[in-house]
Amino acid sequence: MPAYRGLVLYLFLSPLYVFLTDWTPIALVLASGVLSVVTLPIMTLIVLRLTADRKVMGRNANGWLTNTVMVLAILGAVYLSWEGVGELLSDFQKG
């Protein structure tokens, strides 16, 4: 598909201008890390909701063991996100 090929070329070739400048992407890397830490629990909750729904998945829906593991993963991600955001805010206040 031409649209797919164009999208792939845009996504993989457009960031290459960084090599031609003296710009350093440190702020972008830090921002994406913070964003992924915050959105991980939300994405995991959406996956749990979709895969546990019998109307959507039919007979392939998650069982109780899989749902329990997913809930534990969500709780762990929320805890780590809370700690990470708290540490980031304390670092900002110090510096």
- So where are the chain's domains? 22-94
Mean pLDDT of the chain: 85
pTM for the structure as a whole: 0.58
pLDDT grade, residue 64 (50/70/90)?
A: very high
Q: What is the distance between the alpha carbons of residues 45 and 23, in angstroms, rounded to a whole number? A: 37
Query: Token digits for 20?
Result: 């031609």
Query: Token digits for 8?
Result: 């792939």
- CB of 57 within 8 A of CB of 51? yes
Q: What is the distance between the alpha carbons of residues 64 and 82, in angstroms, rounded to a whole number? A: 27
